[in-house]
Structure 1
Amino acid sequence: MSGAPTASERIADHVVSVDPAAAGEETVHAVARAFLDTFAVAVAATGDAVDVALTGYVAGSTGPASLWAGAGSASPEHAALVNGAVGHVLDYDDVTSPLRGHPSIALLPALVAAAEATGADGRRLSAAYAVGFEVMCKLAKACALDHYARGWHSTTTIGLLGATAAVGHLTGLGRDAVRDALGLAVAQAAGTRQNFGTMAKSFQAGACGAAALRSVALAAAGMTAAPEALDGGTGGFLRLYSTPEAAAALDAELATLGQSPGELVTSGIDVKKYPLCYATHRTIDLLLDLRAEHGLTLADVERVEMRANRGGLAPLLHDRPSTGLEAKFSMQFAVAAALLDGEVKLRSFDDEQVRRPEIQRFLPQVTATEDDGPPFPRWAEVTLHLADGSTLHRRTTVLRGSADTPLSDDELLEKVADCFGRGGLGEHTSTFADAVFGWADQPVRSVLARRLP
């Protein structure tokens, strides 16, 4: 083939150029944190309807890959499907800003399954994660804003492309096979925001990991795809899923692909403090602070006005939720729960908690609107109109748990312990966390074995 390399070829060149043993201690630790968080959130969803449905679906599947919310195993592709969905259903998994979505649930179910199948250690997995994260963020910076606004679930569309690059790196695919695997991933890239608040949203995340493994396996077996699958002018991913200008934007982003310090450092990972859509988190922080400072209860507040930057409320589809899944995408519920309970925890999203009369009565008293200014920097502000006639107002750009204001390891372990407790593994938190943080030179499969009693 002549002419300038396509986007898929440039990404493939990067994937095969990264030394699989080159992940430094900072990268290994960052990926260990990401895995511990993602795995714990899946454990917390043990017994969820999504877990039950998909575990039943793969019953009879055999293979070396662990099912995280239980003691079973399955083929890598089936394990990625189940683990990706179960790890996403609580909407408690990590986020990165460029993606407008969840990087680790796109990357880790496929990567961990592949590592278990190949015997890879934590350092090898960490290098592959960094490769996938880099690719994902470059693609996202080129197209995610418009892509997401059109209704695509960027975690599972752009995320699939990053996961395919990551698994290709872990398994040692050659350059042309990586290029073809990306084209095969484009053939499967799907997921809609219309499914937010339903089980299908988490299924989309599981399908993403399964598709990444499938794409790599088929490319390794010799199946080919169009080199222009990403940036082709007629029917490439960017043109179909975004705007004609996105190809030029990606060309510029790929000029810095792999340059130090890399996207894992510059974009970073945001760990979620609360188990619902990230678009609510700044508001919850503000409300919990005001509640504590002024001794407020829900009865003290007549109504709440909330505003955010343009695009900041796009995922929040449910203003009158009646189920836990719907409540995870409701600013109105987030406000009511924070003011009533003084916390927003996993138990807040049990259906009976969402349907409490005092919660349902307050939902119409919350308005949430977007500003018409620029989408960045992201911010939130709240105005509380109190029963005594006074008002309280506060605004923030800070997001606690974000890459800029990260949780400490101890704070992360508090979240992990809460998740493990809900999943029936509470007494094993420290043992498992120690194994994960020490996984650099240990086979991933042996680390996962430490999760069990």
Structure 2
Amino acid sequence: MTETLAQRIGAFVAGFGPAALTAEEAHLARRALLDTIACALGGLREATTQKALRYARATSGPGAAHVWGFNDRLGLEQAAFVNGVAGHVLDYDDVTTPLRGHPSVAMLPALCALAEAEGKGMQALAAAYVVGFEVMGRLGETIGDEHYARGWHATASIGTLGATAACANLLGLAAEQTVNAIGLAVAQAAGSRENFGTDAKSFQAAHANRAALQCVLLAREGFDASPAALDGARGYLTLYGKGEDPAQGFAGLGETPRLLLRAGLEVKKYPMCYATHRTLDGLLDLKAETGIGLADVAAVEVEGSNRAFTPLLHDRPQTGLAGKFSLQYAVAAALADGGVGLPAFEDAAVQRPAIQAFLPMVTKREGSGALNPRYAEITVRLKDGRSLHRRVEALRGGPSLPLTDAELAAKLGDCLAHAGSTAAAGMIAAAILDPADRPVAEVIRLLAPLRAAAE
């Protein structure tokens, strides 16, 4: 009998453990956790998070996992859900090119909740993260570009499967149980890009975590699913893809160098959709070099690689959430403010008359050819008749120009300040990045002093 794709993934998931980790993978996983927690703590006061928290408290009794920054615990699924909403609401969390989405927020809230409940350590969490990244990234490489272009929110629609694989690894499920968990994940994988700029985008990322926990816990109880749920005639690849053959995408599954090292993470410097980030890097460099401001500019034209601007749905945003998915707003805010930070996404900031008047002055177009390698070609036309140009390929915060550990700790500090907290960012960052295999619960407890500020 031919091995199905789910069975192949199940064997990989069940056979991978902390001993297989390289030191670089373990450190990258800890960096991903630091970035995800930073974004979630920064998002605690957002209205979207507060709505999710009220819902979770109303539907969950005391449980085994913390909402990050709070002393009280909820059930695993509800705690992971709230942390997923908080971690994604600022749109400040990391991305990776193969997925065309956000890998860490799709699985780390679930992994942390499970690690707390099961008494797991940081090395086990790091190994599970590598497993989840490998699975969701390879699915992304197989179907991701067309899948995303058709309107799927890959963070959720693909990320749910990777998160399930990660949680199955952390829970120590056998290969057959993992196959069943993957089949159950197929039953829940969804998410639409039409929801970008609304509360539902964060819901979709959070649901990937909640669904993954449900899948693995049911599989542990003996719930079964079709072993052909991924590549069967009526399976995931048929329904969510366009007939792509997974053989190439999953060749050498789990072999070194694994996808986390090959593809890497793009850690955001700006709290908005990463499709704007090359433009922002180039535009802010031009502003720093020339001193230009919003009043000096007649028009800005931006060209990007084919489908590079697909997530940018809002040309005339009126809210902070919509502004996160607007190239026009990114350009206007950068020129007006000299940077694009968390305060730029208050509704009042987006609604400034000078900003709204400038939005039609920004145009975007996509080139022909492949999506990768990505680029942004920026032309700034000044009112005095001059034109400024900049082309950006390498992304700051990306694998070729990564943020330092100190810059990551500084990002945590900014997020804490946004949440109104005076907690010590350096202490939290050091604990997360420490290579010692301390219990995950011990790290999460360090966040509890944020409670008063968040509430």
TM over 0.5: yes
Post-superposition Cα deviations, 1:35-87, rounded to whole Å, max 9, x if no partner, equal 11100111111121111111111114321111015333211111111111111
1:393 Cα shift?
1.2
SS of the equivalent of 2:88 reads: coil
SS of the equivalent of 2:228 reads: coil
Post-superposition Cα deviations, 1:292-331, rounded to whole Å, max 9, x if no partner, equal 1111111110111111000000000000000000000000
Aligned residues: 447
Q: Choose which of 55, 58, 71 in structure 2 pairs with 1:57.
A: 55
Counterpart residue number, 2:452: none
Specify the code of the residue in structure 1 equivalent to 2:95.
Answer: V
**Contact persistence 1:46–1:70 (CA under 8 A):** no
- Work out the CA distance in 2 between the residues paired with 1:447 and 1:84: 18
Specify the code of the residue in structure 2 equivalent to 1:44.
Answer: G
Counterpart residue number, 1:307: 303
Counterpart residue number, 2:18: 20
1:25 Cα shift?
2.7
SS of the equivalent of 2:78 reads: helix
SS of the equivalent of 2:379 reads: strand
Residue 360 of structure 2 is aligned to residue 361 of structure 1: no
* Greater CA drift, 328-337 or 372-381: 372-381
Counterpart residue number, 1:217: 217
- Work out the CA distance in 2 between the residues paired with 1:7 and 1:401: 33
1:405 Cα shift?
1.1
Specify the code of the residue in structure 1 equivalent to 2:369.
Answer: G
Counterpart residue number, 1:188: 188
Counterpart residue number, 2:117: 117
**Contact persistence 1:28–1:440 (CA under 8 A):** no
Counterpart residue number, 2:39: 41
Residue 409 of structure 2 is aligned to residue 410 of structure 1: no
Counterpart residue number, 1:8: 6
Residue 447 of structure 2 is aligned to residue 447 of structure 1: no
Post-superposition Cα deviations, 1:213-260, rounded to whole Å, max 9, x if no partner, equal 000011111111111110112x1111111101x1x1x11222210110
**Contact persistence 1:121–1:440 (CA under 8 A):** no
- Work out the CA distance in 1 between the residues paired with 2:280 and 2:61: 42
Q: How does 1:262-411 map to 2 (within 5 A)?
A: 262-411=258-407
CA RMSD, 1 decimal: 1.1
- Work out the CA distance in 1 between the residues paired with 2:416 and 2:129: 24
Specify the code of the residue in structure 1 equivalent to 2:365.
Answer: T
- Work out the CA distance in 2 between the residues paired with 1:273 and 1:267: 18
Counterpart residue number, 2:238: 239
Listed as ranges, the gaps of 5+ residues in structure 1 are none
TM-score by length of 1: 0.97
- Work out the CA distance in 1 between the residues paired with 2:352 and 2:342: 16
Q: Percent identity?
A: 50
Counterpart residue number, 2:162: 162
1:439 Cα shift?
5.8
**Contact persistence 1:428–1:451 (CA under 8 A):** no
- Work out the CA distance in 2 between the residues paired with 1:50 and 1:68: 15
**Contact persistence 1:21–1:124 (CA under 8 A):** no
1:410 Cα shift?
1.1
SS of the equivalent of 1:369 reads: strand
SS of the equivalent of 2:134 reads: helix
Counterpart residue number, 2:416: 420
Specify the code of the residue in structure 1 equivalent to 2:240.
Answer: Y
Q: How does 1:13-162 map to 2 (within 5 A)?
A: 13-59=11-57, 60-162=60-162
**Contact persistence 1:298–1:340 (CA under 8 A):** yes
Post-superposition Cα deviations, 1:77-120, rounded to whole Å, max 9, x if no partner, equal 11111111111011000000000000000110111110001000
Q: Structure 1 residues 422 and 415, CA, compared in 2 at 3 Å: closer, same or farther? A: same
* Greater CA drift, 54-63 or 148-157: 54-63
- Work out the CA distance in 1 between the residues paired with 2:71 and 2:418: 16
SS of the equivalent of 1:164 reads: helix
Specify the code of the residue in structure 1 equivalent to 2:30.
Answer: A
**Contact persistence 2:68–2:448 (CA under 8 A):** no
- Work out the CA distance in 2 between the residues paired with 1:342 and 1:148: 32
**Contact persistence 1:69–1:86 (CA under 8 A):** no
Specify the code of the residue in structure 2 equivalent to 1:223.
Answer: F
- Work out the CA distance in 2 between the residues paired with 1:133 and 1:108: 11
Specify the code of the residue in structure 1 equivalent to 2:293.
Answer: T
